[in-house]
A and B are shown apart, each in its own frame.
Chain A
């Protein structure tokens, strides 16, 4: 009997990896890719599969660990989000030249929108730069089915294969048939070949030539050839011959809309599952058959550029398709109507409602840390980093967010920038970085800051997890995903080893003590013989079920002293504190309040008080 199950795109990808007999998967969490490895961990537990799975310290390391498993002849996957691939770009470029042995699939999830990323970058372009084939699924089901193909391609041509879903595939859910999963058996067998695996520049040239040969052959691989989805459309007797070439979830939007508009029976639609390398034969035949070709893809013109034609081909290079923002179905409808010369759609205007901005959770220890930072350094410069705590921007305690680890390097840069200013006029510099981000890319930046003589306060927001992406363990966790004990890394010891002379740990819930510690840290940065000062704000994430909440729960109430000044709502910004209108006392929402009690330090009138506490 077959069973059907509703799977999240990322769950479908995880199952696709298992069904491809993958033996190792490595990842660093990042939206929209995070749930792939999480699902694999679950499957491994439930089915007892002999897989090696790890949350690696960063994407570069993840890529390299999985690649070696492939060098040893075993199927492997490295999983990350698009900006994670920037970190792993170095091994990707090189691995394209060396090639692989066991099938190697790089799962990299793009985020057009962007919904949860710094950029809308298209990883397929990075695939093109690396010269590796790219697969582009349009639905969760297709993603699952495409993976075995990807591994087969990788193994046959000994080349890394990029598999590129987008947010709307990763975070879509779809019902599909389930099959029993079986364990993959493959014995490690690394065959030494220094001319390939350790190639010197002279041999790299040879490898580059081989890579070009592989790509030319892959481009015409019949099993991955573009497919006409609605055959049997006759050529119109008058007017231009139109066709659409599409890939990814934009194809899924287009199909539904075309059926709605009666275009499905009129305009041929070609699905490209491998946008790079685009088959030159396909390109030539499309250009020979049609007068106008609309290319629909996300989020950069990858197929479009390979068409090398601006007379017939329409897309981003011609301004037909917008060059920024997600191609939502309503946008696709507009593009299709224009292309087919239909009247514009009746406009449904989204309201100008600004929406609620995301905010740190009620009881989040980061809120306390940011509030203290603002209080200790009201005129400070606050470089910050990637994670939940980016939302410290709402509290006015985040000035810059660039990429993983940049808070520390930028704090150093700001210090050197202000070095010529007299010390009493120089702003305090206080950087914030989460524990997982510190491990990922903060350590080299900290060493660099120390040895370049920079001085600033670094607050490591240590909630002992990777909170933003769903609480993946960090190197501070002390065990592998299987529960095997491994050394538990100590952030204070690491910081000391980086050459920092001032390292102290405090609980940000103790707001007054924590604020005093920040001021003490700033004094260290300004003292003779001082340097970088590190304050570790340690308090587990309130949403993490793996860590026991260890605070005394305060039953909070608003007393008659409330002057309705709104300071707590504006400056502390806790979602549980709600304004009820001008001159009305503030209200505490019992559904949201966690009883952290930090707000009692915030109200200058003493109107927020703890009426009872339960340990």
Chain B
């Protein structure tokens, strides 16, 4: 089972990132349980998604849609505040992948700047997702996630793919 927290502020695409991950998991035969933020909190406040991925058909051990504090394997922090707001969900040896203005260490990236440079400031979420999967933090590979993005991408697919790949590329750089 992998437990993932996606955190950001309303309008950053937390729900879309969660959906991409969940659909990829389903495609690979896993079962998923998700909890989302809707309603007033979406208006610019801190938004969080809980995503639990378990072996297909296995209800054993996975019935609650919420991740407990200290239990998440991965925190995808789309906003610099996200770690402060939701870092407590992470388990001691968990991985934080964060979008911050001054990246430090191999798990943080200025995804907003990269997205702005691509002319798609709104796609910072996909830059960070590409970065996360490229650094090997997730249950799936970049190709599988890109396949889901192609399926669900919508109107601005080319830009989205560019953003996703740019993030994945950054992960390769920081690995070298």
A residues lining the B interface (CB < 8 Å): 4-6, 8, 31-32, 34-35, 115-116, 138-139, 168, 171-175, 249, 252-253, 255-257, 259-260, 328-330, 333, 346, 348-351, 353, 355-361, 388, 390-391, 468-469, 575, 590-592
Contact check, A330 vs B69: say whether CB atoms are below 8 A apart.
yes
A11, chain B: closest CB distance, angstroms: 12
Mark contacts of B51-82 with chain A using CB atoms, 8 A cut-off: 1 yes-contact digit, 0 otherwise. Answer: 00000000011111111111000000000010
Complex CA gap A359/B44 in Å reads 5
The answer to whether the Cβ of B11 comes within 8 Å of any Cβ in the partner chain is: yes
Q: Could you say which residues of chain B place their CB within 8 Å of the CB of A34?
A: 38
Contact check, A172 vs B116: say whether CB atoms are below 8 A apart.
no
Q: Could you say which residues of chain B place their CB within 8 Å of the CB of A333?
A: 68
Contact check, B85 vs A348: say whether CB atoms are below 8 A apart.
no
B145, chain A: closest CB distance, angstroms: 15
Contact check, B69 vs A31: say whether CB atoms are below 8 A apart.
no
The answer to whether the Cβ of B31 comes within 8 Å of any Cβ in the partner chain is: yes
Q: Could you say which residues of chain A place their CB within 8 Å of the CB of B37?
A: 115, 171
A116 in complex: contacting residue of B22, B40, B70, CB < 8 Å: B40
Contact check, A172 vs B112: say whether CB atoms are below 8 A apart.
no
Complex CA gap A24/B46 in Å reads 37
Contact check, B43 vs A139: say whether CB atoms are below 8 A apart.
no
Contact check, B34 vs A115: say whether CB atoms are below 8 A apart.
no
Contact A356 to B38, CB < 8 A, known contacts A175-B31, A591-B116: no
Contact check, B63 vs A139: say whether CB atoms are below 8 A apart.
yes
Contact check, A353 vs B85: say whether CB atoms are below 8 A apart.
yes
Complex CA gap A191/B46 in Å reads 54
Contact check, B81 vs A391: say whether CB atoms are below 8 A apart.
no
Complex CA gap A256/B33 in Å reads 12
B62, chain A: closest CB distance, angstroms: 7
A-B contact pairs, 15 of them (CB 8 A): A6-B23, A6-B32, A31-B38, A32-B38, A115-B37, A115-B39, A116-B39, A168-B66, A172-B35, A249-B64, A255-B63, A355-B45, A356-B81, A359-B45, A591-B115
Complex CA gap A358/B43 in Å reads 5
Complex CA gap A252/B121 in Å reads 39
B26, chain A: closest CB distance, angstroms: 5
The answer to whether the Cβ of B41 comes within 8 Å of any Cβ in the partner chain is: yes
Q: Could you say which residues of chain A place their CB within 8 Å of the CB of B35?
A: 168, 171-173
The answer to whether the Cβ of B10 comes within 8 Å of any Cβ in the partner chain is: yes
Complex CA gap A31/B41 in Å reads 11
Contact check, B66 vs A357: say whether CB atoms are below 8 A apart.
no
4 further interface pairs, Cβ-Cβ under 8 Å (given A173-B36, A175-B31, A351-B85)? A115-B37, A175-B32, A350-B88, A353-B81
Q: Which 8 A-B pairs have the closest CB atoms?
A: A116-B39, A591-B121, A31-B39, A358-B45, A173-B34, A348-B70, A172-B65, A348-B69
Contact check, B40 vs A358: say whether CB atoms are below 8 A apart.
yes
Q: Could you say which residues of chain A place their CB within 8 Å of the CB of B40?
A: 31, 115-116, 358, 388, 390-391, 468
Q: Could you say which residues of chain B place their CB within 8 Å of the CB of A32?
A: 38-39
The answer to whether the Cβ of B87 comes within 8 Å of any Cβ in the partner chain is: yes
Q: Could you say which residues of chain B place their CB within 8 Å of the CB of A329?
A: 64, 66-68
CB-nearest residue of chain A relative to B45? A358
CB-nearest residue of chain B relative to A332? B64
Q: Could you say which residues of chain A place their CB within 8 Å of the CB of B175?
A: none
Contact A355 to B32, CB < 8 A, known contacts A139-B63, A256-B63, A592-B11: no
Complex CA gap A349/B87 in Å reads 10
The answer to whether the Cβ of B84 comes within 8 Å of any Cβ in the partner chain is: yes
CB-nearest residue of chain A relative to B34? A173
Complex CA gap A174/B51 in Å reads 10
Contact A174 to B33, CB < 8 A, known contacts A4-B26, A115-B39, A591-B116: yes
Contact check, A356 vs B9: say whether CB atoms are below 8 A apart.
yes
Complex CA gap A351/B68 in Å reads 15
Q: Could you say which residues of chain A place their CB within 8 Å of the CB of B112?
A: 591
Contact check, A252 vs B116: say whether CB atoms are below 8 A apart.
no
Q: Could you say which residues of chain B place their CB within 8 Å of the CB of A358?
A: 10, 40-45
Contact check, A351 vs B32: say whether CB atoms are below 8 A apart.
no
Contact check, A256 vs B10: say whether CB atoms are below 8 A apart.
no
CB-nearest residue of chain B relative to A31? B39
Contact A252 to B44, CB < 8 A, known contacts A31-B38, A115-B39, A348-B88: no
Mark contacts of B7-20 with chain A using CB atoms, 8 A cut-off: 1 yes-contact digit, 0 otherwise. Answer: 00111000000010
Contact A171 to B38, CB < 8 A, known contacts A6-B22, A355-B46: yes
Q: Could you say which residues of chain A place their CB within 8 Å of the CB of B116?
A: 590-591
CB-nearest residue of chain B relative to A111? B39
Q: Could you say which residues of chain A place their CB within 8 Å of the CB of B62?
A: 256
Complex CA gap A32/B64 in Å reads 18
CB-nearest residue of chain B relative to A326? B66
Contact A575 to B46, CB < 8 A, known contacts A6-B32, A173-B32, A256-B62: no
Contact check, B64 vs A361: say whether CB atoms are below 8 A apart.
no
The answer to whether the Cβ of B122 comes within 8 Å of any Cβ in the partner chain is: yes
Complex CA gap A315/B65 in Å reads 23
Q: Could you say which residues of chain B place their CB within 8 Å of the CB of A259?
A: 60-61
Q: Could you say which residues of chain A place their CB within 8 Å of the CB of B36?
A: 8, 171-173
Q: Could you say which residues of chain B place their CB within 8 Å of the CB of A168?
A: 35, 65-66
Contact check, B66 vs A351: say whether CB atoms are below 8 A apart.
no
Q: Could you say which residues of chain A place their CB within 8 Å of the CB of B9?
A: 356
Q: Could you say which residues of chain A place their CB within 8 Å of the CB of B68?
A: 257, 329-330, 333
Q: Could you say which residues of chain B place their CB within 8 Å of the CB of A255?
A: 63-64
Complex CA gap A168/B38 in Å reads 11
Contact check, B84 vs A175: say whether CB atoms are below 8 A apart.
no
CB-nearest residue of chain B relative to A391? B43
A430, chain B: closest CB distance, angstroms: 22
Complex CA gap A566/B73 in Å reads 40
Contact check, B43 vs A360: say whether CB atoms are below 8 A apart.
yes
B100, chain A: closest CB distance, angstroms: 15
Complex CA gap A469/B38 in Å reads 9
Complex CA gap A328/B69 in Å reads 10
CB-nearest residue of chain A relative to B92? A348
Contact check, A172 vs B122: say whether CB atoms are below 8 A apart.
no
Complex CA gap A115/B47 in Å reads 11
CB-nearest residue of chain B relative to A352? B84
Contact check, B84 vs A353: say whether CB atoms are below 8 A apart.
yes
Contact check, B39 vs A359: say whether CB atoms are below 8 A apart.
no
Complex CA gap A609/B127 in Å reads 32
CB-nearest residue of chain B relative to A117? B39
Mark contacts of B97-112 with chain A using CB atoms, 8 A cut-off: 1 yes-contact digit, 0 otherwise. Answer: 0000000000000001
Q: Could you say which residues of chain B place their CB within 8 Å of the CB of A253?
A: 63-64, 66
Complex CA gap A31/B121 in Å reads 29
Complex CA gap A328/B89 in Å reads 13
A351 in complex: contacting residue of B31, B67, B87, CB < 8 Å: B87
B152, chain A: closest CB distance, angstroms: 12
A172, chain B: closest CB distance, angstroms: 4
Contact check, B32 vs A361: say whether CB atoms are below 8 A apart.
no
Which of B23, B44, B121, B124 has the most chain A CB atoms inside 10 A of its CB? Answer: B44
B50, chain A: closest CB distance, angstroms: 9
Q: Could you say which residues of chain B place their CB within 8 Å of the CB of A353?
A: 81, 84-85
